[in-house]
Amino acid sequence: MNKKKVFLAVLLMFVLCIAAIGCGKKQDDAVYSENDFSDAGDEQVKVRLLKDDLEREVEVPVQPQRVLALNSAMMEMVFELGVIPVGKVSEYIVPRPEAQDLPGISFENSPNIEMINKLAPDLIIAHASNHSQIQDSLEATGAAVFYIDPGKAEDQLIGRIDLVSEVLGCKAEADVCVQRIREKAESLQKILAGSPIKTALLIQGGSQSVRAAQTFCFWGRLLSFLGLENIVPEEVAKTTKAGFVNFDIETVIQKDPDVLLILQPGFRSASEGGQGGNGGKQGGQGPQGNGGNKPGGEGQQGKTGGEGQQELKSISPEELLAMYQDDPMWKQLSAVKNGHIYIVPDNVSPGRIRILDALDVMAKLIVPEAF
C-alpha cells in the first residue's frame, strides 16, 4: 500500500513538471509590450509592441536586421544611428559611401512595392501622411510597418530621432547624435557672435508675396541653431503648422533683416540633374512673380502658387541672385545694400545633407569672413 502511494506521488510530480515546461515555452513565444520587454531581460523575445504616430500598436522586431525607411530624412536618421538600411529612396543624396550601392525603391511618394518585396525588410519606417494609403501593400511584404509623423517633432532640425531610435532599439546612439549637433551649434554660435549679422530671413517666392521659413521648420531651425533671430514672428506658428508662410515684402522692408537667404527653385528635387523628384512649381518669373515653391513638409510635394502658374525653368544661382539684387523693392533692404544676400545651396534640405554639415554650410555662407 505504501509503495502504491509513493508511485502515485512520483507520477503526480512528473506530470506537474511537464506542465511547467509547457507554460514556460508559451511564455517565451508571447508578444511583450514595451514595459514587459524592458523588464524581462529574455534573449528569446523576438518582438515588442510600440505605438506609432497613427496610434497603431505595432509588433516591432526587438533587433531588426533589414530596415527600410521610405523617407529621405528618416533614412538619414537611420544612418546616423549606426544602421545601414537595405534600400534607398531617390531623394536621398547624402554622399555616404555605405549608401552608394544601395538598391533604389523609387521616390518617397511612390515607392516601388515590387522592389520592396525583393528587399525583404523586417521593419519598414513609413511617413504617416505620405504612405498611410499604401498600408495594406506595405504590410503584405511581411515587414513590421511603423508610421512616423515628422510634423510632430518639437525640433524639426533634429526631427523624430527619438522615435526612430526607439523603434530601432538604439536610444543611447540617439542621445550621442543630438549632443553632437548641439555642441556643433554652440561652437558655431561663438564664431558668429562677433559678426554684425543678428537677424535673418529665409525665403522662397516672389517679391510681393513671398513664403518665409518659420522658426520651427528645418531651415528656420538652422538659423536658430546658429544664434540668429528669424524675423518671422513666433506667433505665426500658432495659426498654421506649415513650415513656410506668406510674408509680404512690406513687412520684410519694415523688419529689415541683416541677412537674406533664398532657396533655389526645385530645392526638394530628387536628383542633381533635376529629373523627377518632389520639387514644387514656381509661379511667375523670379522675384517679379507672386508665386513660389511651397515646401509641403518632409517628403511632400510642393504646391504651385502665383499668377500664371508657370513653371520656372532652370536658372543658375547667379541669375536668381541678380533678380533680387536688381529688383527696386528688394534693393531697399540693408541686406541687399550690404551684400548680405545669399542663395542657399540646393543640397541644404532634409535627407540631402547631414545636419552637422548643414550647420557648417549655412554658417560659412552667412559669415564667410569668420572662417
Q: How far is the CA of 225 from the CAs of 43, 143, 180, 218, in angstroms?
A: 41, 37, 13, 10
pLDDT of residue 130: 95
Please tell me the distance from the alpha carbon of residue 258 to that of residue 34, in angstroms, as a whole number.
49
Contact of 73 with 351, CB cutoff 8 Å? yes
pLDDT of residue 269: 45
pLDDT of residue 301: 34
pTM recorded for the entire structure: 0.77
Q: DSSP states of 168-234 as a string?
A: HT-HHHHHHHHHHHHHHHHHHHHHHTTSS--EEEEEEE-SSEEEEE-TTSHHHHHHHHTTPEESS-G
Between β-strands 67-69 and 144-148, what pairing exists: parallel, antiparallel or unpaired?
A: unpaired
pLDDT of residue 237: 61
Q: At what angle do helices 171-192 and 218-225 cross, to 10 degrees?
A: 60
Q: Which residue do the cell numbers 513666433 mark?
A: 234
pLDDT of residue 18: 44
Each of the 371 residues of the chain gets a pLDDT tens digit; together they read 555 554 555 455 554 444 444 433 332 333 444 444 444 344 454 899 999 999 999 999 999 999 999 999 999 999 999 999 999 999 999 999 999 999 999 999 999 999 999 999 999 999 999 999 999 999 999 999 999 999 899 899 999 999 999 999 999 999 999 999 999 999 999 999 999 999 999 998 655 568 999 999 999 999 999 999 999 988 776 677 788 998 888 889 999 999 999 998 766 544 433 333 333 333 333 343 333 333 433 333 333 333 322 344 577 889 889 989 999 999 999 999 999 999 999 999 998 999 999 999 999 999 999 99
